[in-house]
Every structure is written in C-alpha cells, then in structure tokens.
C-alpha cells in the first residue's frame, strides 16, 4: 500500500550523468532553465530539445521512467496550449467559426510554452533520477552557502532535508500500521462525504503526529548525545570533488547554450 510509494525517484547507476558532481548538475540544471526562458525561436528550442534527449540517453535511465515524470503536468500542458490557442489575437487568423477565432500567434505561443515546460520538467527529472537524495542535499547546502550572510541557514536546511528523507519511509510504514489497527477496530476511511471522510482520518492522523513528535524528540536527544551542535566546526565525511568530467560537461553545456541562443 503506502510503502510502495517511491520517493526521490533516484535511479541508481554509474553513467556519465550519475558520475557528475551534484553541484555541477544542480548548477547546470539551473542555468538550463534560465536558457530555456531566454530562448524564443523554434530553432533554439530544437537545439535545446536535442541536447536534453542526448542527456537522457547518456544517463542510461529507461525513457519510460523519464516520461513518467511528465505525466503529472499533462493537465497543465494542455491547459497552456488551449488557453493560448483560444485567447491570443496575434498573427494571422487561421480559423473563424462562430465566436471561436484562432490566430497563428496563439498556436505558436501555446506550443512553444508547452515545449518549454516539457524541457524544464525533463531536465529536473534527469537531475533527481541521476543524483542520490543525499548528494542533492549536499549540493543544495553548497548552493545556499553564499546566502548565509543574508540569514539563510544553509546547513540547517540541508540537515532538515536529510532527516525528512530519512524518516519518510519510517512514517509511511507507521501510517500503514496505524491504519490497519484502526481498520481492525471497525474504522472506515472510504465512505461518506468529504467532511465525514476528513473526520474519519483523525484516528490515523493524530497517532501519526504524536509518533512523529515523539520521534523528533528522541532523535534530537540522540543527535545531541552524538555532539551535534549545528554546522559550526563540523567536518565532512564525503567531500564533493570536481573531476575533469565536470569540466567537459560545463564546456559542452556552454557551447550548446551559446549555439541555441544565437540561432
């Protein structure tokens, strides 16, 4: 049931994409998204799209898994296209039927935006598919570090993410256990109206929250007992290291982006 939910959808492997430093991947994904927003021509998008497909191929992640990431945004995609097609008044009038008027500009705009969204989601799913959650957390901590002077607690945020990732499976397992226990007491989580259903979830949610707080309390004590006192003076077990691979990747990325934007 609940424990079957896959989280962080990391696809372990040893491909070129997996071996890149997480900071490089995070940085490139970010830059790629910016390039996506700057680019306007179909030609640019074709280059960027081809580059994306190349990365997917290099990552050796089954295409099916990558496409699965697109499923949740199908609604948004169709909505984007429909809205633009029917509301835009730019370009040449293509169809004029009763009150429906479709202009070429709308069609163009709609599909470009949808394509941009697809590429955006594609790049982020390749990032999470090829980077373990913990590596991603480390990279995020590095990325946020410059913001510390503005009061952003980079280390604490990263630690929170790690702990959340660590405890999600534990809490899911617990939720399933409590659910079964309440079902055995004749609870009904499925029938009735919205209000009744929400109320019927209380016997599941309350014990789950209590357990989460108890766990948080005990974990905090265990962390203090192991001398945890925040990020100050902490060393790292696994230090992120750039390799020549990262240099090649960044170089290729810069070239492709330049070409894409120039077209």
Q: Which of 96, 125, 132 is nearest to 10 (CA)?
A: 132
Closer residue to other proteins in complex, CB, 9/78:
9
| Torsion angles phi and psi, residue 10, rounded to 5 | -75, 135
Q: Which of 5, 14, 22 is nearest to 58 (CA)?
A: 14
Question: For the packed helices 104-130 and 42-59, what is the interaxial angle rounded to 10 degrees?
Answer: 20
Closer residue to other proteins in complex, CB, 55/178:
178
Closer residue to other proteins in complex, CB, 146/169:
169
Chain residues binding other proteins by CB under 8 A are: 133-134, 162-163, 165-166, 169-170, 173-174, 177-178, 180-188, 202-204, 206-207, 210-211, 214-215, 218-219, 221-229, 233-239
Give the nearest distance from C-beta 165 to other proteins in angstroms. Answer: 5
Give the nearest distance from C-beta 218 to other proteins in angstroms. Answer: 4
Number of other residues whose CB lies within 10 A of the CB of residue 5: 9
Give the nearest distance from C-beta 214 to other proteins in angstroms. Answer: 8
User: d(Cα 20, Cα 43) in Å, to the nearest integer?
Assistant: 28
SS3 96: strand
Closer residue to other proteins in complex, CB, 72/186:
186
Give the nearest distance from C-beta 15 to other proteins in angstroms. Answer: 18
């Amino acid at each position: 049931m609940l424990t079957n939910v896959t989280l962080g959808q990391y696809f372990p492997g040893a491909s070129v994409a997996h071996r890149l430093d997480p900071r490089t991947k995070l940085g490139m994904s970010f830059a790629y998204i910016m390039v996506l927003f700057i680019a306007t021509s179909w030609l640019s998008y074709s280059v960027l799209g081809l580059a994306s497909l190349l990365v997917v191929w290099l990552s050796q992640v089954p295409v099916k898994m990558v496409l699965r990431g697109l499923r949740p945004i199908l609604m948004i995609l169709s909505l984007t296209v429909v809205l633009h097609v029917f509301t835009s008044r730019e370009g040449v009038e293509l169809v004029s039927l009763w009150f429906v008027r479709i202009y070429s500009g709308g069609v163009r705009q709609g599909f470009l935006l949808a394509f941009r969204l697809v590429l955006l989601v594609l790049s982020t799913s390749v990032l999470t598919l090829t980077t373990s959650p913990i590596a991603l957390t480390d990279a995020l901590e590095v990325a946020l570090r410059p913001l510390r002077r503005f009061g952003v607690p980079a280390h604490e945020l990263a630690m929170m993410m790690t702990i959340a990732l660590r405890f999600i499976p534990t809490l899911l397992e617990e939720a399933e256990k409590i659910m079964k226990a309440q079902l055995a007491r004749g609870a009904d989580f499925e029938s009735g109206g919205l209000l009744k259903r929400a109320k019927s979830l209380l016997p599941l949610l309350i014990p789950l929250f209590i357990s989460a707080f108890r766990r948080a309390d005990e974990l905090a004590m265990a962390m203090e007992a192991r001398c945890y006192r925040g990020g100050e003076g902490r060393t790292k077990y696994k230090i992120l290291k750039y390799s020549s691979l990262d240099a090649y990747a960044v170089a290729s990325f810069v070239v492709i982006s330049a070409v894409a934007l120039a077209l």
